[in-house]
Structure 1
Amino acid sequence: MFLILFSLVVLLLFIFIRNKIKQSLRYWRERDVPHVEAWTVFGNLASVVFKQKSFPNLLQDTYAQYSNKRYYGFYKFLKPALIIKDIDLIKTICIKEFDKFSDRPPILPKEADPFWNRGLFALEGKKWHDMRTTFSPAFTSSKMKGMFHLMTGCAKDFVDYFENQKSDLITFEMYDALTKLASDVFASCVFGVKHNSLIEQENEFYVMGKKAFDFTGLKGLKLFGASLSSTLMKILKVTMFNETVTNFFRKTVNGTIKYREKTGLIRPDMIHLLREAQKGRLVNDSEDSEYSYSNTFKTDSNRKTIITDEDIVCQIAVFFIAGYEGISSASCNVIYELAINPDVQDKLIEEVDKTLASCNGEITYESLMKMKYLDMVVSETFRLWPPEPFFSRKCTQPFTIEPMLPGEKPLHIERGFGVTIPIFSVHRDPKYFSNPNKFEPERFSDENKAHIKPFTYLPFGMGPRFCIGSRFALLEVKVAVFYLLTRFKVVPVEKTSIPFVIDKSSIVLKHEHGYWLGLKRR
């Protein structure tokens, strides 16, 4: 009797779940929106979950499938999402109607991970606006200039390490080396702590970086946590960082703040700048802001934003995770393209030598920023391999996409709904970039970049919510590449994997088979 009852319960549960799945996956069909068909609980993500395809590649395949559409429907597990292809519509969502799409869809629910959700990446509405407004002055061009010598110090140590080796051709895995450099730059530019992780391989910053960015295996599913099941994430209390990593940042940030208050020490690093922001003394001295968002939310001019030490800890932790993996991968991709495109590398080395000679052997911030060919090389690499391969926005007020093409109907987007902008796919669309899979830095020459359609190049996102650390990332990449080429030429070796294969387990665009390259002394 028990067995029969149990079997009946299982059968009813199976029927309920199956019907629930079918109902969820009818969302786009009921709205007559072109969409990628889905049949399982994974929605359209089965190939990503089972490591058969990277998410950027999946989006590119579906992007091409709907070549004559402005948008199409997609399922992230059982959650419907809208993929936006049309550039004018992307501009409308990210800029013109930003007040209706000012938030990012949550990765993890606030109840599951309050620490992560205090960070600038996850904050919403006025809280995001106030925090962004308060911290933006820490990332202006003039503040980057102040950190320049901290970055160059790390880059010099990095290059010295390899120059001191006896071999004429040094073969090594570039990603491993550049994550160590990124860790050193972070330690120096944020905390004023000097490390050389190529030598001190067990220093805390490098070790914590590896732990913070461990999304291997099932851990990677947390990046789709809210789409998978917000309820499950809450029950399991899934967090972005484990307790060891979180406590490390709390201890380090709070310890640094107390030490500086006691000693009066001032350094032009991120801790100092964020503390100045906390005290309301950080002034935006830049006139080159790409977007204005001061009027997006009503602000009481007499009310100061309260920034706690915990807020600073959260921003630094998020900043670290972006820098450790994102900037390391971006630097690797630039160096990899130089290795397999020796003609481009030779031309860049010529510019490096001329620039160094004009500075009497000591590069300055101004001289680095004037290096046009270096900027072209980095820009083209970021087109092929954008640091942010896609980004998403959450609808905060009901919005209607009006029909423009034959057969389109008005599409009403509800509050809380997510839309995704596939940067990787846009950057490789032949409508915008001829021969899009070819590495051609000349696309970004002064003459040619004027012909690039506006808003089709967006490596750091678009609109008021574009990446706040973009200047820092660009500067770190350029400094690393510059110093490496002053003493070495990068060459392919036997273990170099060509062509580039996107890592199916990574959330950033990096090579699945690593970056095995050789450094040949110049």
Structure 2
Amino acid sequence: MIFTNDVIVTSAFELKVDSLEEPNNTFYTMGKDIINFSSLLATLKLMILFGFPKILKLIDIFFAHNKTTEYFHNTITETIKVREEKNIERKDMINLLLEARKGHKTEEDNAIETEYVTVQEDSYFDRCENLLFFVAGFDTVSIALCCGAQELAVNKDIQDRLREEIRETDKLNDGKLYLRCIIKYEIYGHEILKKWPPILVTDRLCTMPYTIDPKYPDEKPLHLKVNDILWLPISALRTDEKYLPKPEVFDPKRFSNKNCDQIIP
């Protein structure tokens, strides 16, 4: 969590934070507060959030405590105000949000409008959207890193192979591990997320009528309407042998350039 907190703060606000040396800094303590579901009230909020989102909005209960929501809201609002007044541009998430507010569109934005797309991201965080980037990365990356460390610990042959690859790359680049040098290790990340997805399901909102045809004789067509919410079972799909053989085995080689074409999309 300490590492992911500092990365998010740097990429979002272009601020330098060292949570290892200063574990009580405001960003880190507020971040922990957002994802704290240890109390009965927090668990209840989470259940209402996913089960009855409209009720959540009516009674005005949030994921985080009001002080946490207010802190992030004020921080982002003040940062945006200063940048607009002084015409400051930086390579971080705040700048991306400002560009989006101006109506700038990327190629991906334009692709959303094609006739083939029938779903869009469905977010229940309408009132807390300023927190979403923080919530989405703070705990999920920590979980993935911890699970990856565990897999390397119990699979010594893979750990040894990875260590040797890093040493070879280090020698070839005079001790400078540039991003282009370490992209090859992305295959380990794919396998970690395949076996240990931090988020078990994701949801999408249907934007146009669509029918899923029956696959078996005793099934009926499933007619999706506009605004229907779809739940996609990430964990179930990634542990289905129809798509990934021996899903319980930690095998990064399945995502190598040589083998990735064999994976069923």
The residue number in structure 2 matching 1:410 is 221
How far off its partner does 1:231 sit?
6.4
How far off its partner does 1:381 sit?
0.8
Q: Which amino acid aligns with 2:163?
A: I
Stretches of structure 2 lacking an aligned partner (at least 5 in a row): 117-125
Where 1:379 maps in the other structure, the secondary structure is helix
How far off its partner does 1:291 sit?
9.5
For the 8 Å contact 2:62–2:128, the answer to whether it is kept is no
The residue number in structure 1 matching 2:8 is 186
Count matched residues: 255
CA distance in 2, matches of 1:401, 1:269: 40
How far off its partner does 1:232 sit?
4.6
Deviates more, 1:268-277 or 1:328-337: 268-277
The residue number in structure 2 matching 1:424 is 235
CA distance in 2, matches of 1:224, 1:427: 25
What's the TM-score, normalizing by structure 2? 0.83
How far off its partner does 1:330 sit?
1.5
Deviations 1:343-400 (A, max 9, x none): 111111122122223332222222222x2xx122111111101243212234455543
How far off its partner does 1:415 sit?
4.7
CA distance in 2, matches of 1:231, 1:193: 36
CA distance in 1, matches of 2:110, 2:171: 37
Deviations 1:452-478 (A, max 9, x none): 112xxxxxxxxxxxxxxxxxxxxxxxx
The residue number in structure 1 matching 2:193 is 382
CA distance in 2, matches of 1:378, 1:442: 11
| C-alpha RMSD of the superposition | 2.9
Q: Which amino acid aligns with 2:22?
A: E
For the 8 Å contact 2:13–2:92, the answer to whether it is kept is yes
The residue number in structure 2 matching 1:347 is 161
The residue number in structure 2 matching 1:156 is none
Deviations 1:114-140 (A, max 9, x none): xxxxxxxxxxxxxxxxxxxxxxxxxxx
How far off its partner does 1:263 sit?
5.5
Which residue, 248, 252, 277 being the options, matches 2:75? 252
For the 8 Å contact 2:9–2:16, the answer to whether it is kept is yes
Q: Which amino acid aligns with 2:113?
A: S
What's the TM-score, normalizing by structure 1? 0.44
How far off its partner does 1:251 sit?
1.8
CA distance in 1, matches of 2:252, 2:62: 40
CA distance in 2, matches of 1:326, 1:238: 23
How far off its partner does 1:322 sit?
0.5
* Structure with the bigger percentage of helix: 2
Stretches of structure 1 lacking an aligned partner (at least 5 in a row): 1-178, 298-310, 455-522
CA distance in 1, matches of 2:79, 2:193: 34
Label 1:259 to 1:181 Cα distance change in 2 as closer, same or farther (>3 A).
same
Where 1:215 maps in the other structure, the secondary structure is coil
Q: Does 1:271 align with 2:94?
A: yes
Listed as ranges, the matches of 1:313-328 within 5 Å are 315-328=129-142
Label 1:221 to 1:260 Cα distance change in 2 as closer, same or farther (>3 A).
same
CA distance in 2, matches of 1:450, 1:396: 31
Q: Which amino acid aligns with 2:114?
A: N
Which residue, 192, 208, 214 being the options, matches 2:36? 214
Identity among equivalent pairs (%):
35
CA distance in 2, matches of 1:214, 1:359: 42
For the 8 Å contact 2:152–2:158, the answer to whether it is kept is yes
Which residue, 94, 100, 111 being the options, matches 1:292? 111
Where 1:200 maps in the other structure, the secondary structure is coil
Q: Which amino acid aligns with 1:323?
A: G
Label 1:239 to 1:438 Cα distance change in 2 as closer, same or farther (>3 A).
same
Where 1:446 maps in the other structure, the secondary structure is coil
CA distance in 2, matches of 1:351, 1:196: 29
The residue number in structure 2 matching 1:199 is 21
